[in-house]
């Protein structure tokens, strides 16, 4: 995320360098959209391209819907399955579409920093939105999670206890959530998962880290469950799905350790029966579908801010 | 197809429970669109998603065009090729897109009843249109076939003799046509095909069933030819394409047994040289392309009725 | 390209039969679009389908953006990867989409003459734009290259020396460029490449043909570099990428043989390090990205002319 001038962003690449004021402003605008606010034709005539070097239909649909609601023209380029780039570099692919007159790019890439590298090459007036790069950043997911927390718990994060559970090590969602929670002054951030799935660098600075799920749940106001990728088994990082579920699966019984009005979040897609049971996923404390709805609102706010 | 109130449909799942009045109303509206009628922006700001768990580019395009002509935003989710649902259940996939604020879903699924199951879980105000499920239903195909019949033969179905030819057993098109023809009071419904491709349940009640194509053609006003899926050979249900063509292929010579002004229909895509010859497919009695055009009109009428 | 009446085209299939006046008119209109001119809603309510029997994401995006900027509804049908046509003929696929009410078709096909064959079957009022067929034609690429030349060198082609370099034999880009350069009266057209990649028919009539790249570069005003398809090695037409680069790769040193203000063009995607070096591709004389931008403008002009 670079800034041309104070309060004026060129791109949305991460949440680290977003000021608290900028984040608050984005969340307020997103809340207006979530409440049914319109921005008719704010992006009329503006072309936005989803440029996905790693597939993700749901995130693409969410951005697409957000762009359409603002009146943008939307193009989709699935570079992950396209055989047509024919050995072309990512940068040439990007520059080509940019040269067509596209002003907004929603980019996903498996490489850490790959979206920022493209943004560094962008022409003035062209904005990139990071839709997930490697394990590093997924800023709109972080923002939609914060919006979901605010809707349930109010704007004062200093009194909130939040726990992030699971494969934090490989999760860009967790990293963006951590940055956002810190920026908004979250009272207590707990992180819980098996040692093999916790990062060893300074990602978790200031967090209360634990491998004991039951203890980590005590009195929390919100649970952010992470998806367990099945490849973690092949990599030897997790014994089995059954073991993982026994130790870190969220059940109704476990959820009772949290505050009575605690909310449950998950970025999707859920592995039902692994990191979360049906009863919790579909239960009264689940905010999973609110997160999805907030995703469109947050992306509208981000697109409008950068391109409107 | 459930109804919230008399004459008010929530979904279009099948044609069984559509009243004759509702069907007539849909067909009149479709005829208006087929004649060039406009419904500018009837679905402005409404998001419609094609959610295909089984691929079908042509049906998807037809619905997409219908939705665009009504001013809707259109999203496409090809769940059949998408690797990105990552083991997610169909219901979670549906609920996710629904949570984004999409109000209309055009759903195709290989499982019988799968579309109705999703509809049962839909939120109020969200409408599902069945674009084909298993062998069961393809309601818009049934409606477009009825529209094509009305255009050629008038609105009084009681005087019509119609024959459905081919693999009725595995055909959702045939089932929806049968329901529609009965609802509109078709005078005589004949069904013709090899024993191995005729259903054994009560699908054909009230129909004149025959395995003799020449006899079944005598004096009919309309022929509804079905596509022969090549997998029927592997399944041992049909000896060979040559045998099938000899016994059930529609040639110009055979067509002369029908009424002189009989029309020929086919849901496409056609196996030329198998169930139909080039001369008939492209001949003056063919209404195959009229069916395609009517498909867009019928889908506009259905989308407008459910979402307008 | 057939004409209903003088100055009125039905389709854009090739550049041979385009009169100099028609080409000039298209280029002037394209220049207006390239300079920011608008044609708001010139194609409002018109449905345009990209029908690609051979994949090409970039060309498809360019046409899609052009159609959207004119207010058209756009449909995409990737017939190259679609399993859903189920053995249907190309003609039936085309006629089906045509019967849905689509008025514009952007067609790419690997077969020479395949697009013209479909155009011959089109209904009155339906327009086909050839987006590349076999080795034969790629008319909008030819036009965008001419627009790029005019922007850099002015409208008087009689004083221009242009060299086309590389695999002319298999290139529809080269053929369309040759037709366009002749129509606009280019002063000198040089063609350079290894004998195995030069056509043996009359494609090159009137051109100065050479296998000596250094000699062919002397004093030229523009270089049109062609992509070397890697399959040429497997076919034994080229020894190795290294050999090709040594003999026909455009380096900064070589470029100094051209006129000081010579421009470098490439239809993309580029094989960096093979037919062109990074320093040239990204250097001050490169017009590669201008070509891409001009592509949208030319396609807007063509769509407007045929369908507006």
pLDDT digits (tens, 9 = 90+) for A94-137: 999 999 999 999 999 999 999 999 999 999 999 999 999 999 99
C178 and C202 co-located in one domain: yes
Report chain B residues touching chain A, CB-CB < 8 A. Answer: 45, 47, 49, 73, 75, 77, 82-89, 92-93, 95-97, 99-102
* Chain B nearest C-alpha distance from A296 (Å): 6
Query: Given phi > 0 = left and psi -120 to 50 = alpha, else beta, which region is B103?
Result: alpha
**pLDDT score of C85:** 54
Q: State the average pLDDT over residues A47-64.
A: 94
pLDDT digits (tens, 9 = 90+) for C148-157: 999 999 999 9
Cβ contact (<8 Å) for C268 and A88? yes
Hey, how many other C-beta atoms are within 10 angstroms of the C-beta on C189? 21
Beta strands in A12-126 (DSSP E): 47-52, 73-78, 104-109
Q: Which residue has better confidence, C280 or A1?
A: C280
* Chain B nearest C-alpha distance from C142 (Å): 31
Beta bridge partners of C295: none
- Residue B286 DSSP code: B
* Chain A nearest C-alpha distance from C296 (Å): 6
Element (H, E) at A111: none
Q: State the average pLDDT over residues C57-81.
A: 93
Segments in chain B forming alpha helices (H): 20-34, 57-69, 90-99, 114-120, 139-153, 172-183, 213-217, 231-234, 241-248, 252-255, 278-281, 288-307
Q: State the average pLDDT over residues B220-237.
A: 92
Position C40 confidence tier, pLDDT thresholds 50, 70, 90: confident
Cβ contact (<8 Å) for A97 and C61? yes
* Chain C nearest C-alpha distance from A9 (Å): 25
Cβ contact (<8 Å) for A75 and C64? yes
Q: State the average pLDDT over residues A265-276.
A: 95
**pLDDT score of C3:** 41
Cβ contact (<8 Å) for A88 and C269? yes
Cβ contact (<8 Å) for C270 and A49? no
- State the residue range of the domain holding B52: 3-138+293-307
Whole-number Cα distances in Å, A153 to A125, A156, A173, B170: 37, 8, 20, 54
Cβ contact (<8 Å) for C100 and B269? no
Kindly list the residues from chain C whose CB atom is less than 8 angstroms away from the CB atom of residue B289. 95-96, 99
**pLDDT score of A234:** 84
ipTM: 0.94
Position A80 confidence tier, pLDDT thresholds 50, 70, 90: confident
Q: State the average pLDDT over residues B245-271.
A: 97
Is 80 exceeded by the pLDDT of residue B2? Answer: no
Segments in chain C forming alpha helices (H): 20-34, 57-69, 90-99, 114-120, 139-153, 172-183, 213-217, 231-234, 241-248, 252-255, 278-281, 288-307
A145 and A278 co-located in one domain: yes
B57 and B73 co-located in one domain: yes
- CB–CB contacts below 8 A, B to C: 58
Percent of chain C residues past pLDDT 70, beyond the cut: 96
How far is Cα of residue B38 from the mean position of the Cα atoms in its chain? 23
C158 and C273 co-located in one domain: yes
C274 and C144 co-located in one domain: yes
B150 and B132 co-located in one domain: no
Report chain A residues touching chain B, CB-CB < 8 A. Answer: 55-58, 61-62, 64-65, 68-69, 230, 268-272, 289-290, 292-293, 295-296
Q: Residue C266 — φ and ψ, nearest 5°?
A: -155, 135
Percent of chain B residues past pLDDT 90, beyond the cut: 86
Q: Which residue has better confidence, A5 or A75?
A: A75
Interface test with A, best of B51, B83, B84, B89 (most A CBs within 10 A): B84
Specify the number of domains making up chain B: 2
Position B4 confidence tier, pLDDT thresholds 50, 70, 90: very low
C175 and C265 co-located in one domain: yes
Report chain B residues touching chain C, CB-CB < 8 A. Answer: 55-58, 61-62, 64-65, 68-69, 230, 268-272, 289-290, 292-293, 295-296
Cβ contact (<8 Å) for C101 and B296? yes
Is 90 exceeded by the pLDDT of residue C79? Answer: no
**pLDDT score of A38:** 82
Percent of chain C residues past pLDDT 90, beyond the cut: 86
Kindly list the residues from chain A whose CB atom is less than 8 angstroms away from the CB atom of residue C61. 49, 75, 77, 97, 100
Residue C99 has its nearest CB partner, among B55, B57, B293, at B293
- Give the torsion through C-alpha atoms of C82, C96, B225, B250, to 10 deg: -100
**pLDDT score of B109:** 96
* Chain B nearest C-alpha distance from C83 (Å): 8
Give the N- to C-terminal CA distance of chain B in Å, as an integer. 18
List the chains bordering chain A where 3 or more Cβ pairs fall under 8 Å: B, C
B129 and B182 co-located in one domain: no
Q: Residue A127 — φ and ψ, nearest 5°?
A: -115, 135
Q: State the average pLDDT over residues C214-218.
A: 98
Kindly list the residues from chain C whose CB atom is less than 8 angstroms away from the CB atom of residue B292. 96, 99-100
B110 and B163 co-located in one domain: no
Q: Residue A144 — φ and ψ, nearest 5°?
A: -70, -30
Cis preceding-peptide flag for C269 (omega within 30 of 0): yes
Which of A228, A126, A215, A135 shows the shortest CA–CA distance to A176? A135
C168 and C232 co-located in one domain: yes
pLDDT digits (tens, 9 = 90+) for A6-52: 457 899 999 998 988 999 999 999 999 999 988 778 999 999 999 99
Q: State the average pLDDT over residues A186-208.
A: 96
pLDDT digits (tens, 9 = 90+) for A154-167: 999 999 999 999 99
Which of C23, C22, C28, C26 shows the shortest CA–CA distance to C8? C22
B89 and B174 co-located in one domain: no
pTM equals 0.95
- Residue B225 DSSP code: E
* Chain C nearest C-alpha distance from A100 (Å): 5
**pLDDT score of A88:** 84
Residue B293 has its nearest CB partner, among C75, C88, C100, at C100
Yes or no: say if A53 and A90 are a contact pair by the CB < 8 Å rule: yes
Pairing of strands A8-9, A3-5: antiparallel
Kindly list the residues from chain C whose CB atom is less than 8 angstroms away from the CB atom of residue A87. 230, 269, 271
Residue of B nearest to A297 (CA): B100
The count of residues in chain B is 308
**pLDDT score of B166:** 97
- CATH code (residue A261): 3.40.50.1370
The three-point CA angle B234-B236-B240 to 5° equals: 80
**pLDDT score of A17:** 82
Residue of B nearest to A295 (CA): B100
C45 and C94 co-located in one domain: yes
Locus of tokens 């959530």: A177
């Amino acid at each position: 995320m670079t800034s041309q001038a104070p309060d004026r962003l060129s791109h949305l690449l991460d949440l680290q360098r977003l000021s608290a004021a900028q984040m608050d402003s984005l969340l307020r605008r997103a809340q207006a959209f979530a409440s049914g606010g319109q921005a008719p034709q704010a992006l009329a005539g503006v072309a936005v391209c989803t440029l996905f070097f790693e597939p993700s239909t749901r995130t693409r649909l969410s951005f697409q819907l957000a762009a359409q609601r603002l009146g943008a023209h939307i193009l989709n380029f699935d570079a992950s399955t396209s055989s047509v780039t024919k050995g072309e570099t990512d940068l040439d692919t990007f520059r080509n579409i940019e040269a067509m007159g596209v002003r907004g790019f929603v980019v996903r890439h498996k490489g850490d920093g790959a979206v920022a590298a493209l943004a560094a090459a962008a022409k003035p007036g062209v904005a990139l939105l990071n839709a997930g790069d490697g394990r590093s950043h997924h800023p709109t997911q972080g923002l939609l999670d914060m919006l979901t927390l605010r809707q349930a718990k109010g704007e004062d994060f200093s009194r909130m206890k939040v726990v992030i559970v699971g494969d934090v090590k490989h999760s860009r969602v967790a990293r963006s959530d951590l940055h956002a929670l810190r920026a908004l002054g979250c009272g207590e951030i707990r992180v819980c998962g098996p040692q093999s799935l916790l990062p060893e660098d300074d990602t978790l600075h200031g967090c209360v880290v634990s491998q004991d799920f039951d203890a980590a749940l005590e009195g929390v106001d919100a649970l952010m469950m992470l998806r367990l990728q099945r490849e973690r088994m092949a990599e030897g990082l997790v014994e089995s799905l059954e073991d993982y579920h026994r130790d870190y699966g969220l059940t109704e019984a476990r959820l009772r350790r949290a505050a009575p009005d605690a909310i449950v979040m998950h970025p999707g897609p859920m592995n039902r029966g692994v990191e979360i049971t049906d009863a919790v996923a579909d239960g009264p404390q689940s905010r999973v579908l609110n997160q999805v709805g907030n995703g469109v609102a947050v992306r509208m706010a981000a697109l409008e801010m950068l391109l409107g």
